[in-house]
Amino acid sequence: MPVSEGDSPIFPAGKSGQSPASEGKSGQSPADEPVEDAGSGGPEKEPFDPIKVNGPIFVGWPKPKLALVISGRQEGYIEPCGCAGLDRMKGGMSRRHAMFKVLREKGWPLVGIDVGGIARGFGRQAELKFQIMVEGMRKAGYEAITLGRSDLRLPAAELLSVTAGTPDEPSPFHSANVALFGFDAEMTAPWRVIEAAGMKIGVTGMLGKKWQAEINNSEIEMIDPETALAKVLPELKTKADYLILLAHATMEETRRLAEKFPEFDLMVTAGGAPEPPAKAVRIGGKSILVEVGEKGMDAIVLGLFDDPRHPVRYQRVPLDSRFPASADMAMLMRLYQDQLKREGLSGLGIRPVPHPQKETNGRFVGSKECETCHEEVYDVWRRSGHGRAYRTLTELDPPRNFDPECVSCHVVGWHPTGFFPYEGGYQSLEKTPKLINTGCETCHGPGENHGKAELGNDEELIQKLRRAMVVTKEESKQRQCVTCHDLDNSPDFDFDTYWPHVKHYEQ
C-alpha cells in the first residue's frame, strides 16, 4: 500500500498570516531616538515568504475520506517568541488551530491525535501553561492524546483536574500502561475509539520503558508497555477497523513494538529527529511510522482515501506564518498572561538566588549609572534594540512583561535560560524601574563595586574590578549572546551580522 506525499498548495505562494503575538504596536522609537531596527536591534530584513522557504503543502491532494492531524512533543511551546523574527519562526498553537480551521473549511473530516509531551518544567507556571495548552487542543478538536514523560512530571492531581472528561465530553487522554492514582481507580482510559467519516479509529497510547525511569511519583502507576498492549489490543481490534499506537517512546523501542504488534496501521513516535521527515516510511512490515519532531513546530497530516492507487497520503506541515492568527488562541494567550500577572513571582514560586559574581561585583545598579564614565558606549546601547527590550514585551498583544520566560532576556538581573531572578535583580516596573531593558549588567555582571572603586584611589582594586567586568568579543560570540538569541527566540541571529549594530569597545 503506497504512501504518497502531497504535491497543489492550499495556500498560494507569497501569502502569509500573522500570529496574535505580532498584532501589537510597531515598536518604532520616537523621532528623536533613531534606532537600528524596530524589533531586535539587528539589521533590517527582507519580507519573509514562508512558502518559498518552507515549501507548498497538500500539492495535488483531492479531498480525503478522513485526515488525521498528528502532533506531539510541544514541550511547553505555547506560541513562538514575539520579540524578534516572529514571521520566520515556526510552531505555536495559534497557527495549528488555524490549520485545523482551514482544512475544515475545505470540507475535510479531521481527527486530531497527539503523542504527548505537552508540558515543560515544574512549578506553577508549567501547570498554568499545561491547562491553557490542553484547552487549546480541545478547541482545535483533538480526540486522542496520550500522556508523555514531561506531562507526568506534573502533580497527578493537577493532571487529573485538566485531563478528566465530563458526562457530555469524554477525555481525549488515555494510556495503556500509565494510570493516574493507579489502575484500580480507573481514572485513565486505556484506549479510545473514534467514529469519523464512516470509520472506527482505535487509538491507544503508552509510555516507553526507558522514559518510565524518569517518573518518580507514587500517585502514578506504570506497567511494562508490551504487557499492557498485549492486554489492550485484542479488545481494541474487535471495536475498530483502523488501529493507531501513540508511542511516547524512543525510536528504538517504537521499532521493537512495531515488530511485536504488527496489527497497528499507524504508529506515532515521540522519538526521532527534531524535524519530522519529509516522507513517510513503513515499520514492522505494515505500519506507517510518523515522527512528530519537537516543540510543535510541524504537524503531520495523514490523508486516508478510497483510492486503491493512493490509499494514504502524507504531508509534513510547517506551522509557519502562512497561517493566519486564531482568535480563539489569542483569547487563551491573553488569559494565560493575565494569570501570570495575578500570580506574580511569589505566586509562581519564583525566588531570587545569589548572583555568581555577587561577592566580587556587588549589586545591580542599572545602566544609567554607567553613562557618566562610558558615555559613548551608553549611547550605542540606548539606541539599540537592547535599550528598549522591555518595551518590546509591553507592546506585544497580549503584553508579556509578567511572563518569567519572556522577562528573563529583557531585563537586568535574571538568568536568561533558567527563568529566575538574581538577588537585587529586576522585580517589577514599579519596584525596579532602573533594571528594565537588556542593560549593561546583563552581559557584564553587577556593577556596584566597580562604580564605587572608580571613585576611590585604590588602583589595584580598580584594575581588579575592571577586569571582572570585561567581556571579550569572542566570549560574546561563543557564549553570551546565544543565551537569548537562540533558535527559539531569534531564528535569524548571526553574530557577525548583528555585532556592528551594538559594537562597543573600551581600552
Burial class, 37, CB count within 10 angstroms (exposed 0-12 / middle 13-18 / buried 19+):
middle
Copy the grid coordinates of residue 449: 563595586
Do 329 and 365 belong together in one domain? no
For residue 450, being part of any structural domain is answered with yes
Per-residue pLDDT at 167: 82
Residue of 172, 81, 78 lying closest to 120 (CA atoms): 78
pLDDT of residue 171: 94
With CA atoms as reference, report the closest residue to 39 among 29, 27, 24.
Answer: 27
Do 367 and 450 share a domain, yes or no? yes
Whether 245 contacts 270, CB under 8 Å: no
Cis bond before residue 30 (omega within 30° of 0): no
Residue corresponding to grid cell 519596584: 431
The parent domain of residue 414 ranges over: 361-501
Cα radius of gyration (the chain): 25
Distance of CA 23 to the CA centre of its chain: 19
Are 444 and 378 a contacting pair, CB within 8 Å?
Answer: no
Q: What is the pLDDT of residue 188?
A: 94
- The string of DSSP codes covering 199-256 is EEEEEEEEE-HHHHTT---TTEEE--HHHHHHHHHHHHHHH-SEEEEEEES-HHHHHH
Instruction: Measure the CA–CA gap between 172 and 205, rounded to whole angstroms.
Output: 11
441, part of any domain: yes
Task: Confirm if 270 and 115 have CB atoms less than 8 A apart.
Answer: yes
Domain boundary among 296, 319, 334: 334
User: Phi and psi dihedrals of 243, rounded to 5?
Assistant: -110, 135
Residues 6+ apart with CB under 8 A from 221: 178, 179, 181, 182, 183
Q: Is residue 44 part of a domain?
A: no
Instruction: Look at residue 349 and tell me if it is in a domain.
Output: no
DSSP 291: E
Confirm if 269 and 290 have CB atoms less than 8 A apart.
Answer: yes
The answer to whether 271 touches 232, Cβ cutoff 8 Å, is no
Residues whose CB falls within 8 Å of the CB of residue 478, separated by 6 or more in sequence, listed in order: none
Residues 320, 171 within the same domain: yes
In a domain, 179, yes or no: yes
- Same domain, residue pair 324 and 435: no
Coil vs helix vs strand at 192: strand
Torsion of CA 390, 354, 417, 25, to 10 degrees: -10
Same domain, 305 and 437: no
Within this chain, do residues 321 and 387 fall inside the same structural domain, yes or no?
A: no
Q: Are 73 and 187 within one domain?
A: yes
Question: Is the domain of 430 the same as that of 485?
Answer: yes
Residues 63, 305: Cα–Cα separation, whole Å: 8
Per-residue pLDDT of the chain (507 residues; tens, 9 = 90+): 556 655 444 544 334 444 443 333 333 333 333 334 334 445 566 788 999 999 999 999 999 999 999 999 999 999 988 776 788 899 999 999 999 999 999 999 999 999 999 999 989 999 999 999 999 999 999 999 999 999 999 999 999 999 998 888 889 999 999 999 999 999 999 999 999 999 999 999 999 999 999 999 999 999 999 999 999 999 999 999 999 999 999 999 999 999 999 999 999 999 999 999 999 999 987 899 999 999 999 999 999 999 999 999 999 999 999 999 999 999 999 999 999 999 999 999 999 999 999 999 999 999 999 999 999 999 999 999 999 999 999 999 899 999 999 999 999 999 999 999 999 999 999 999 999 999 999 999 999 999 999 999 999 999 999 999 999 999 999 989 999 998 888 888 899 999 998 998 876
Q: How many whole angstroms separate alpha carbon 314 and alpha carbon 276?
A: 11
**What number of other Cβ atoms are within 10 A of residue 207's Cβ?**
30
Q: Do 288 and 145 belong to one domain? A: yes
Tell me how far apart the alpha carbons of residues 351 and 192 are, in angstroms, rounded to a whole number. 42
CA distances from 140 to 143, 157, 164 (A): 10, 24, 17
Q: Cα separation of 13 and 32, whole Å? A: 39
CATH number at residue 15: 3.60.21.10
Count structural domains, the chain.
Answer: 2
Q: Which of 264, 299, 334 is the last residue of a domain?
A: 334
178 and 279, same domain (yes or no):
yes
Q: Are 294 and 90 in contact (CB under 8 A)?
A: no
CA 205 vs CA 150, 222, 297, 301, 312: distances in Å = 15, 13, 22, 19, 22
Which sign, positive or negative, has the C-alpha torsion 335, 338, 343, 346? Answer: positive
Residues 127 and 164: their CA atoms lie apart, in Å, by 15
Asked if residue 131 belongs to a domain, the reply is yes
Per-residue burial over 70-86, b if 16 or more Cβ lie within 10 Å, else e, is: bbbbbbbbbbbbbbbbb
- Kindly state the cell numbers that stand for 109: 473530516
Q: What phi-psi label fits residue 496: left (phi over 0), alpha (psi between -120 and 50 degrees) or beta?
A: alpha
Confirm whether 355 is domain-assigned. no
| Rounded-to-integer distance, Cα 318 and Cα 91, Å | 8
Helix (H) or strand (E) segment spanning residue 194: strand 191-196
Residue 329 and residue 387 share a domain: no
Q: Is 176 in the same domain as 300?
A: yes
Asked if residue 383 belongs to a domain, the reply is yes
